[in-house]
Structure 1
Amino acid sequence: MVENAPRKSPVPVWAYVVGALVLLLCLCGVAGVIGFVALRDKAEHGASATGTPGGGDPAVPWQEQLAGISGVQAYTPGALSRKHVAEDAATYPQSPPVGGDHADVWQNCQGTVYSAPLPNARAVHSLEHGAVWIAYRPDLDAAQVKKLSDRVAGHDYMLMSPYPGLDAAVSVQAWGYQLKVDSVDDPRIDAFVTAARINAGPEPGAPCAGGTTETGPLK
């Protein structure tokens, strides 16, 4: 007589429930880690109110984004000289300048709002590091200047200053690029900053700290 094999006990329902909960918790943990890393990377790369570097459509190169902004002038960025010279020896065909020979000390550009004009040669060095420089006509009223400073203050790779003799209300510079507009509310300012900030500089990773905040002659 052949004995029947012992029947296996069915897996209780609670075991399936526990297994599903464990799997769900694991998936939530992985998603949390991915989200944390993404947010950390965004913070480390200097996200700002005016957009992240290379913002806009990620499928469109930043150069094409700039080219698509009406009024942007390009000055052959790769052909601009990058030599260090004495501040008073640097001359520029554009006003404000967009690149070329510059001082060996840069103007700090950590979202720095200057109330006095900057030496061109130091501001150009900041552009080389990837900064965007917002220059404005000194006769703008306080409310207009405040709108500009709100775009700049606290945002790395940005600086702002008055510019005597400016032929527009606002002029925005990156290395090799310039946009002049007649209103502080012009949306092209933000579009320019979004595309050019950090990206346009020929020295990626160069700092905005460690230069100077002095606006007069250096001793």
Structure 2
Amino acid sequence: MGKNRRQERLQQRRSQPSTPAAASARPAPKPVPAWRHTIDQWGGPWIIVAGVAVLAFIGWIAWVNRPVGVSSKGLMGEAVQIAASGHVTSPSELQIPEGVPPAGGPHYVNPLPGGVYDQPVDDGRVIHSLEHGLIWITYKPGAISDAQLKELLDLVDGRKRDVVLSPRPENKDALVATSWGRRLVIKPGDMKTVKDFISTNLNRSPEPAVR
């Protein structure tokens, strides 16, 4: 009797319709957004990485060339008349005064970056730097002491973006500060005047804050 019941249950199970496969019950995949197709066409995630890198580079350039505060005080130093200030290619086209650093005039295309230089630099390049608002501090080798030179080095070391410090044997004076259109002879060791000249005359030029 029990055997017959088991056979009946087995037959009932076999006669019941089978349920659909689990796979057929899965929801249809969501459509891929149009922007995803565009990204895939342009290289996938790498285009996003490249875009972020470009934006970061642009931001860095903007920070490097950020505007710097300009003093409202009267310019320091003797006013220097500047007749012309175009680009030239030959040293003979430069207008270099005798015994003093130039404070403007014709200059070479490539400006000299700010910083400390232990050898004389090219006047034609520094003139272009002055046009961009930098300050040029020159000293006559042998006319200032090692201690005075160290003070200058320490001062400019923290302002290399804005100041050029270099020896200039042609100078008749021991220490001269120069900006575009201005020149000031300073007594060696008078660091206050050097600092004041930098803060007052910095970026007061035809093309200020360009670096």
* TM-score normalized with structure 2 length: 0.62
Distance in 1 (CA, whole Å) between partners of 2:90 and 2:139 is 22
Q: Give the counterpart letter for 2:183 in structure 1.
A: Q
Q: Is residue 2:176 matched to residue 1:171? A: yes
In the alignment, is the contact (CA less than 8 A) between 2:133 and 2:207 conserved in 1?
yes
Q: Contact 1:80–1:176 at 8 Å: present in 2 too?
A: no
The equivalent of 1:116 in structure 2 is: 119
Shift of 1:191: 1.4
| CA distance in structure 1 between the aligned counterparts of 2:176 and 2:145, rounded to whole angstroms | 16
- What residue in structure 1 maps to residue 190 of structure 2? 185
- Please state how far the C-alpha of 1:167 moved relative to its aligned partner: 1.7
Structure 1 match to 2:156: 152
Aligned counterpart for 2:108 among listed residues 103, 106, 109: 103
What secondary structure sits across from 1:102 in the alignment? coil
Query: C-alpha separation between the residues in 2 aligned to 1:120 and 1:201?
Result: 17
SS in 1 for 2:188: coil
What is the Cα deviation at residue 127 of structure 1?
Answer: 0.2
Letter in 1 for 2:168: Y
* Shift in Å, 1:165: 2.9
Deviation sequence 1:136-175 (CA, Å, 0-9, x none):
1111332211111112113121110001032222100000
Cα distance in 2 for partners of 1:193, 1:162 equals 18
Pairwise CA RMSD: 2.0
Corresponding position of 1:58: none
Question: What is the correspondence of 1:1-219 to structure 2 with a 5 Å cutoff?
Answer: 45=67, 53-54=70-71, 61-62=72-73, 64=74, 66=75, 69=76, 72-76=77-81, 79-89=82-92, 90-93=94-97, 95-109=100-114, 112-139=115-142, 140-155=144-159, 156-198=161-203, 200-207=204-211
**May I ask how many residue pairs the two structures share in their alignment?**
143
Q: Which runs of 5+ in 2 are unaligned?
A: 1-62
Distance in 2 (CA, whole Å) between partners of 1:169 and 1:184 is 11
Percent pairwise identity: 30
The 2-side partners of 1:173 and 1:106 are apart by: 15
- Change in Cα spacing, 1:205 to 1:193, as seen in structure 2 (3 Å) is closer
| Higher radius of gyration, 1 or 2 | 2
Distance in structure 2 (CA, Å) of the matches to 1:145 and 1:104: 30
Do 2:139 and 2:174's aligned partners in 1 also have CA atoms closer than 8 Å? yes
State the SS of the aligned residue for 1:193. Answer: helix
- Letter of the 2:110 partner, please give it: V
Q: Which residue of 2 aligns with 1:30?
A: none
Contact in 2 for aligned 1:138/1:163 (Cα 8 Å): yes
Measured in 2, the distance between the counterparts of 1:148 and 1:80 equals 31
Residue 186 (structure 1) shift: 4.7
Q: Is the 8 A contact 2:67 2:209 kept in 1?
A: no
DSSP 3-state at the match of 1:187: helix
